[in-house]
Amino acid sequence: MAFAAIISLLLVFPVFTSALPKRDTSQAAWDALNKTVNGQLYTAIPFARPCFQSSSLAGTFDEAACQSVQANYLNATVRSNTFATYMASQSETCSATGAQCYLDWQNVTNPAAVSSSETCSQGSVSTHYIDVKKASDVQAAFQFSSKTGVPLVIKNTGHDYAGRSSLANSLGLWSHNLKSKTFNAKFTPQGCPAKTTFPAATIGAGVQTAELYEYADQQGITIPGGACVSVGIAGGYLQGGGHSWLSNIYGLAVDRVLEFEVVTPTGQHLFANACQNTDLYFALRGGGGGTFGFVLSATMKALPKASYISVEVTYTSTPDTLKTFLSFLISNAVKWSTDGWSGQIRPGAKLVLTAVNTTEAAATAYFSDLQGVAQSIGGAFSVVTTPSYLAFHNKFIVPDALNELDGIPQTVGSRLISAQTFSNSADELLDSLVNIVTNSQVSFIFANAPFSFKQDASLGPASVNPAWRNSLWHVVAGAGWTFDTPASVQSIIYDSLTSGIDTLRNITPSSGAYLNEADLHEPNYSESFWGSNYDQLVQIKKKYDPQHLLDCWHCVGWKGAADASFSCYL
């Protein structure tokens, strides 16, 4: 209450909003915050701290603790249960200064990473964090930040490629332990007419993909999520768009979210859906995480359990076969997407396309020409039925280690490829893809843009870039580096990904990129991530976060790369 009053005063007298009060980071201020959040305030110590002799941070070298860190250094489960770790591990560091607390991820016992000349530093890991349990914890944090000027960052699983869930010298809000899950066969969003019901699951913001899939399977429902099982569902994944292998069939995650439970930076705890707080509902359906408020939970439409027919091609590429195969895919992509096939292509290795409501015999006949091409390049073709989404996921997605690369410094670049590009610029698309695939450490073609999916008009529009709807493919290239790669070389890696994707940008001028899997230096990021929705998103940001308590890299209305908050970025 008092908080809301302070905010409205600030709104009435804008002169006071121009300068935030001086930072008060005294122990007394932290202790008071800790009391308000019932002792859920913690200091964050870098994960590998016990392996270092040299550090000014709390803690000491500890052989046994270090061995446990080594054993779990690349373990996605342990990492996501630990606040001070990030999937793309450069988010733990201050890239620009080289301050880090790394082991050698390629050899976790390599003494060179922890020798006495190496110092374990805090990097971009928050100094403190709150293990969020309820709305009042978040309200206390916004109030604390507003009063003291200590910046905030929201962290869920730490999978963001652009480091949006870490921030040097900040207070972190950790949503990881919000693990509630409930299924309601007749869910009515708050404020909607009682006759409006959906089968739906409400999940806490900390629920991760694997947990959702197990739960949905037990309930006899389907809720698609992403490929990486340790990514969160309701955090950055959903708020940025959220594609699955089957999103050409089922839409993006934002197409199936019915309601968000949110604490806004102004301290309001509210429910946003198609009937109330509709501007916030729109913004959270693609505007990006960490920007409009702290999402406590989200309610996702539950689809019935279904069985899936998948065609799979595996092959080993040579430059010739790569070109033959990609060329064939390009000439058939519009047809396949229109007919409801959705999946993933690993250029030079394999393809999986999946549909519902068909049969193995019909799929075999439909893809007879694909089978012919697969054989001509020495590949294997098969058609497989899986009886549920979980079975589909376990069969096709889990075995691929590239879907889980936790604890490795890495980056990506990407582009959404519009349907017109496949007819207007097929040759350039082929050349560009061959070039990207050949010159990238890893590359993916997600043949899963929601091209044939029909949106539920009753939910109103989502704020993801409308370019998603005209696209067939989301092309991603990635690169990683070693624990001791100098900042200058990391910059070269970032730059070469940016220029590597330029050939795709040139032939898709009115398209865009997926903000959750985008180039760190995406050109024209606001147009690229949100297209015509950007201006409206900026207005909504101003309404719900008038003091600008939340900010992140290339997020709606951010302060820009020159702001001191982003001085660790390259």
Residue 229 corresponds to which tokens in the numbers above?
A: 């099982």
Is residue 205 a contact point for ligand FAD (CB under 6 A)? yes
564: number of CA atoms within 13 Å, CB side?
4
Instruction: Name the 3-class secondary structure at 373.
Output: helix
Rounded to the nearest whole angstrom, what is the least distance from the CB of residue 340 to ligand NAG in the complex? 6
Is residue 237 a contact point for ligand FAD (CB under 6 A)? yes
Binding mask 273-292 for ligand NAG (x = CB under 6 A): --------------------
Please identify which residue in 113, 303, 330, 405 interacts with ligand FAD, judged by CB under 6 A: 405
Residue 123's closest CA among 166, 88, 92, 89? 92
Binding mask 334-363 for ligand NAG (x = CB under 6 A): ------x---------------xx------
Instruction: Name the 3-class secondary structure at 40.
Output: coil
Candidates 51-59, 102-110, 294-302, 533-541; binding stretch for ligand NAG (CB under 6 A): 102-110
Smaller CB separation from ligand NAG, 220 or 523: 523
Please identify which residue in 72, 95, 157, 425 interacts with ligand FAD, judged by CB under 6 A: 157
Return d(Cα 312, Cα 335) in angstroms, integer. Answer: 17
Is residue 29 a contact point for ligand NAG (CB under 6 A)? no
Residue 396 · residue 383 · CB < 8 Å:
no
Smaller CB separation from ligand FAD, 32 or 135: 135
Rounded to the nearest whole angstrom, what is the least distance from the CB of residue 108 to ligand NAG in the complex? 8
Helix or strand run (H / E) with residue 295: strand 294-301
Candidates 40-48, 130-138, 181-189, 325-333; binding stretch for ligand NAG (CB under 6 A): 40-48
Please identify which residue in 46, 232, 340, 407 interacts with ligand FAD, judged by CB under 6 A: 232
Q: Which residue has the tokens 């392996």?
A: 51
Rounded to the nearest whole angstrom, what is the least distance from the CB of residue 357 to ligand NAG in the complex? 4
Is residue 523 a contact point for ligand NAG (CB under 6 A)? yes
Candidates 183-191, 240-248, 274-282, 385-393; binding stretch for ligand FAD (CB under 6 A): 240-248
Q: Where are the beta strands (DSSP E) in 420-562?
A: 442-447, 471-480
Q: Which residue has the tokens 């899939």?
A: 213
Q: Out of ligand FAD, ligand NAG, none, which partner does residue 414 contact, by CB within 5 to 8 A per kind?
A: none
Rounded to a whole number, what is the distance in angstroms from the first to the last CA of the chain?
Answer: 41
Please identify which residue in 14, 39, 193, 399 interacts with ligand NAG, judged by CB under 6 A: 39
Rounded to the nearest whole angstrom, what is the least distance from the CB of residue 415 to ligand FAD in the complex? 15
Is residue 419 a contact point for ligand NAG (CB under 6 A)? no
Q: Phi-psi region for residue 247, left (φ > 0), alpha (ψ -120 to 50) or beta?
A: alpha
Return d(Cα 18, Cα 445) in angstroms, integer. Answer: 46
Residue 121 corresponds to which tokens in the numbers above?
A: 């530093």
Please identify which residue in 101, 154, 272, 330 interacts with ligand FAD, judged by CB under 6 A: 154
Please identify which residue in 17, 67, 75, 438 interacts with ligand NAG, judged by CB under 6 A: 75
β-sheet bridge partners, residue 295: 262
- Taking CB atoms, the residue at the shortest distance from ligand NAG is 39
DSSP single-letter state for residue 408: B
The dihedral through the CA atoms of 300, 469, 505, 425 has a sign that is: positive
Strand order of the β-sheet with 380-386 is 380-386, 308-314, 350-355, 342-346, 442-447, 471-480, 410-418
Candidates 28-36, 235-243, 326-334, 464-472; binding stretch for ligand FAD (CB under 6 A): 235-243
Give the type of residue at 33. Answer: L
Please identify which residue in 243, 323, 521, 554 interacts with ligand FAD, judged by CB under 6 A: 243
Q: Out of ligand FAD, ligand NAG, none, which partner does residue 356 contact, by CB within 5 to 8 A per kind?
A: ligand NAG
Candidates 106-114, 286-294, 434-442, 531-539; binding stretch for ligand NAG (CB under 6 A): 106-114
Say if strands 152-155 and 171-174 run parallel, antiparallel, or are unpaired. parallel
Please identify which residue in 10, 78, 135, 384 interacts with ligand NAG, judged by CB under 6 A: 78
Q: Which residue has the tokens 């001070």?
A: 84
Residue 433 · residue 347 · CB < 8 Å:
yes
Is residue 42 a contact point for ligand NAG (CB under 6 A)? yes
Q: Out of ligand NAG, ligand FAD, none, which partner does residue 34 contact, by CB within 5 to 8 A per kind?
A: ligand NAG
The DSSP code sequence of 210-251 is HHHHHHHHHHTEE----S-TTSBSTTHHHHH----TTHHHH-
Return d(Cα 308, Cα 299) in angstroms, integer. Answer: 25
Is residue 76 a contact point for ligand FAD (CB under 6 A)? no
DSSP single-letter state for residue 371: H
Residues forming contacts to ligand NAG in the complex (CB under 6 A) are: 30, 34, 39, 41-43, 75, 77-78, 107, 109-111, 249, 340, 356-357, 523-524, 527
Residues forming contacts to ligand FAD in the complex (CB under 6 A) are: 87, 154-161, 164-165, 175, 205, 226-228, 231-232, 235-237, 239-243, 289-290, 294-295, 403-405, 516-517, 552
